[in-house]
Amino acid sequence: MRRDIGIILGILLALQGMLWSAERESVSVEDAFWAYDDGKIGEEDLEELLRLIEAGDGEEACTEWEALGLEPCQKSWTERLDGLNFRGAFQEALSLDSAGNLRNQQMRLALGLWRISGEVRFKSQGAQSPTVQYRRLQYKGRRFSFAAGNLSSIDVGSAVALQKRLGGILTVRLKPLTVGAFAWEDSTAGFHTAIGSPKNIQLFGMGNFSLDGFRGAFLRAKNSTADVQVLYSKHWNTPLLYVSGTSEKGKNSLPLRLRFRAYLHKNDTLHGIFRLPKIVETHRAVGNSTVQIALGDLNLRLLLSVAVPLDTGKARSVAEISCLRRQEYASLGMGTRVSAVGEDFSTTLLMQSGISLFKKDSLFAEWRLTPRHSLKTTLYEIRPGFSIPIEEAVRATVLCILRGPQKKPLVVRLETQMTFSTKLYGKSSLELRSERFQDLHLWRFGFEFDGMW
């Protein structure tokens, strides 16, 4: 097995030699699963992140990632498929299990010429042959646009995702009014409309019908800081209310970042044209919020989340408060996290530190302590690591995870980020595990490659 590990490390070093890098961070599928495995996010958070990543909405995925209290996510280059010249993008991502077998693979190809662009995505799991997961061809002009293939919530102006389905949509823009019509593969059709300006306030609406009559609809009002949407489906007893908000962005904004989101309804089922997180389907009220305050070199953060089940059983709530002081060469942070289910609750103490030898924290460590009735049953987690630049810009991060008091395996992770100017990017993720500090073996390996022209 040592030989296999050596081969993988050799591949990583070879890739580092092939690709020069400028620092670039984004959220990948592996990042989301690792955060879930580590207990940093819940199942509903993982589901929402995967939905955004699979939809290709990298900016919103990064916003969601930061709102969950995870490390800042910033993308140093943005893919553009608008313009008059021939353009395109290619993405390949794969993940291997502990036996070296293919766990899943994703491929994406996007091409554009003039005002016409197309995109196709393939996905395979295990030994299965790749299948088409997404296809779309669109024309986008100044006054009208047309798209055929997979339609999304962005096409109709909805903040809540739609069920995955094929169709066609035609949109006409006569500022400040936008109107359009669409048809889906299940023999349903409808209309969508919008009025207003993104700089002020916008109103959106959609109606969906079939030969049997009404299927679903929504009304939405949105400005730069608030978003309110009312949704209804013929299968629901009452409408569903979606509310979200974020603090103002800009040079004149306060050193305060606020983000919240909530779902409210009284339906036993949410079957219909809208695709909602699983936790929303089983809870009448779901909400989460993040407050971040920057005071010089001190950053304060408050996280709150609440979920009230439909059967009025035990409500779930999580609260976390933390502070981080970052100076030129060092950082130190601490906080506490309280989780409650009904009358049962647990508290976790958090602490982190870092030393900056390069642009970012080069040596860092995190501690987590969850007190129990006795010292022997108290849960702990220690995460020491280091991050270094290789060559001029390739960055490698090594992280070690120790957990107890149960006999949990030692975890070693190696992540490498590689980018060639603004056109080529690679990212590898390797996880090794060891039982009782011996027999270090491969647990998971993932690689992502992005290119555009």
Of the pLDDT bands very low, low, confident and very high (cuts 50, 70, 90), residue 3 is very low
**pLDDT digits over 237-253, tens only?**
999 999 999 887 655 55
Residue 171 has pLDDT above 90, yes or no: yes
Q: 428: buried, middle or exposed (CB in 10 Å: 19+, 13-18, 0-12)? A: buried
Q: Percentage of the chain surpassing pLDDT 90?
A: 34
pLDDT at 338: 92
CA–CA separation, 181 and 192 (whole Å): 6
Q: 95: buried, middle or exposed (CB in 10 Å: 19+, 13-18, 0-12)? A: buried
Domain ranges of the chain: 24-74
Report the mean per-residue pLDDT for the chain. 83
| CA 403-408-411 angle, 5° bins | 70
Structure tokens at 309: 């089940």
Could you please report the per-residue DSSP string of 165-202?
A: -EEEEEEEEETTEEEEEEEETTS-EEEEEEEE-TTSEE
Reduced to 3 states (helix: H, G, I; strand: E, B; else coil), residue 6 is helix
Q: Which of 279-293, 351-365, 396-410 has the lowest mean pLDDT?
A: 351-365
CA–CA separation, 74 and 262 (whole Å): 25
* CA separation, residue 412 to residues 8, 217, 400 (Å): 14, 49, 5
Residue 20 has pLDDT above 60, yes or no: no
Q: Which of 202-206, 282-286, 332-336, 360-364 has the lowest mean pLDDT?
A: 360-364
Which residues pair with residue 184 across a beta bridge?
Answer: 167
Mean pLDDT of 416-430: 81
Could you please report the per-residue DSSP string of 320-335?
A: EEEEEEE-SSEEEEEE
**pLDDT digits over 117-160, tens only?**
999 999 888 878 899 989 999 999 989 999 999 998 889 999 98
Q: 58: buried, middle or exposed (CB in 10 Å: 19+, 13-18, 0-12)? A: middle
CA–CA separation, 226 and 230 (whole Å): 14
Whether the CB-CB separation of 126 and 109 falls below 8 Å is answered with no
CA–CA separation, 290 and 304 (whole Å): 7
